[in-house]
Chain A
Amino acid sequence: MREIITHDAAETVRLGRALGQLAQAGDVILLDGDLGAGKTTMTKGIARGLGITGPVKSPTFTLIREYQDGRLPLYHMDVYRLENGGAEDLGLDEYFDGDGVSVVEWSEFITDLLPPTYVRIRIARTDSTDDTRRITITAHGGDYVRYEDVAFE
């Protein structure tokens, strides 16, 4: 486990970029945190780390957004609207087993469908300021421990 404090959105993007540079084909990154914690901001950073230059927007509406212009494809999923079920039918396996990097927001709604190994990034507000975030990176199996070792000051 690794804990990092970021002080504003720009710093969260910078951390995301560093994490994205570590990503390999087939990686599954779970992004947990409350509404407004900064999950899409973190994903933007990961996308930049993958060399994706275009806009990265919330995928809530279509549930999955695909980005193909980086060194690996990025599948950005937001299963927020599936709190009451329905994710079983999305064919997530095809993404998880695919040759891109899957970033999943609100993965607690699809715990049954997750692959056995992944890295979980938890973004939590702190008591200090509205913009400060405590970011916890936890590897679950595989060689995901490289994310915990991310070089970030």
Chain B
Amino acid sequence: MTDLRVLAIDTANQPLSAAVSEDDTVLGTVTLNMRRTHSQTLLPVISDLLERTATPVEKLERVAVTSGPGSYTGVRIGVTTAKTLAWTLGLPLVATTSLHLLAGNIAADDPRLIISLIDARHENVYAGVYQWVPETAASGPQNVLLPHHTPLAELLPGIAALQQPAIVVGTIPVAYQEHMRSVLGSQVSFADSLTALPSTARLALWAPAMTPVADIHNFVPTYYRQTQAELEWRQYHDDAGHAPYVEEV
């Protein structure tokens, strides 16, 4: 692979991050951490970044994106931008979770378990556990516990059972940290707030080693939760044998 130009984007949570890389070199990256609509900001940032890295959009060869978890609207803006760009330019699309990207912020020579957390409000979190493995380091740390949505209290016994020192990365309320300390004690330490900013520069570097999405049309965010409406509906209804929910007319 020579001169592989990658555009990587992440808008899954409050930060917005975009990066352009060429092979193993990051040409540029922008990360904003503002309470702003990603919809208004993302494409201007991409446009500016491509211009400043002298990358005409036609020169892009791969698009990388985080598929969630996070704010539903935020994730959808990133995913819709990435899938539309990849599809319309005929490029491969690669994706990983926002939890995996956060875990990548912990140095690759750190042997500890990496607990990636995203606040899902009301003492719930999106959680994934990772660890660096030298053989596969080119595409980020390895997944130890699959990303899922869980009450924080239910996550902790599983972490304790792993009996390994762990570092927590992610923007979570202080109360969650205290809760974790009270259960896990010295098993856990907490990375600082700068480490909790997603780095699409890293995602861009992982992208060449990642397996492209097979069907871009059907690529959607990983929400980890059904909508409340669907959850409640399924309590009383059988979801089998229905007319297609979406049909062309």
Contact = CB atoms under 8 A, between A and B. Distances in A.
Interface of A: 82, 84-89, 91, 93
A85 B228 contact: yes
Contacts of B121: 93
Contact of A85 (B71, B73, B231): B231
Interface in B223-238: 227-233
Which DSSP category, helix, strand, loop or mixed, fits chain B's interface?
A: helix
Contacts of A89: 72, 227-228
Nearest to B233: A84
4 A-B pairs closest in CB distance: A85-B228, A86-B229, A85-B229, A85-B232
B14 to A, nearest CB: 12
Contacts of A93: 121
A82 B121 CA distance: 20
B1 to A, nearest CB: 40
A87 B72 CA distance: 13
Which DSSP category, helix, strand, loop or mixed, fits chain A's interface?
A: helix
B229 A91 contact: no
Interface of B: 71-73, 121, 227-233
A56 B138 CA distance: 57
B193 to A, nearest CB: 21
Nearest to B232: A85
B236 to A, nearest CB: 10
Contacts of A86: 227-229
B72 A84 contact: no
Given A89-B72, A91-B73, A84 B232 contact: yes
A125 B39 CA distance: 44
A84 B223 CA distance: 20
Contact of A87 (B228, B230, B233): B228
A93 B35 CA distance: 14
Contacts of A84: 229, 232-233
Contacts of B233: 84-85
B207 to A, nearest CB: 30
Candidate in A85, A87, A93 with the most chain B CB atoms within 10 angstroms: A85
Contacts of B71: 91
Nearest to B122: A112
A113 to B, nearest CB: 9
Contacts of A88: 227-228
Contacts of B232: 84-85
A28 B221 CA distance: 32
B206 to A, nearest CB: 30
Given A82-B229, A85-B229, 6 more contacts: A84-B233, A85-B230, A85-B231, A86-B229, A88-B228, A91-B71
Contacts of A91: 71, 73
Nearest to A94: B35
A86 B232 CA distance: 9
A90 B29 CA distance: 31
A87 B228 CA distance: 8
Contacts of A85: 227-233
Candidate in B121, B227, B228, B233 with the most chain A CB atoms within 10 angstroms: B228
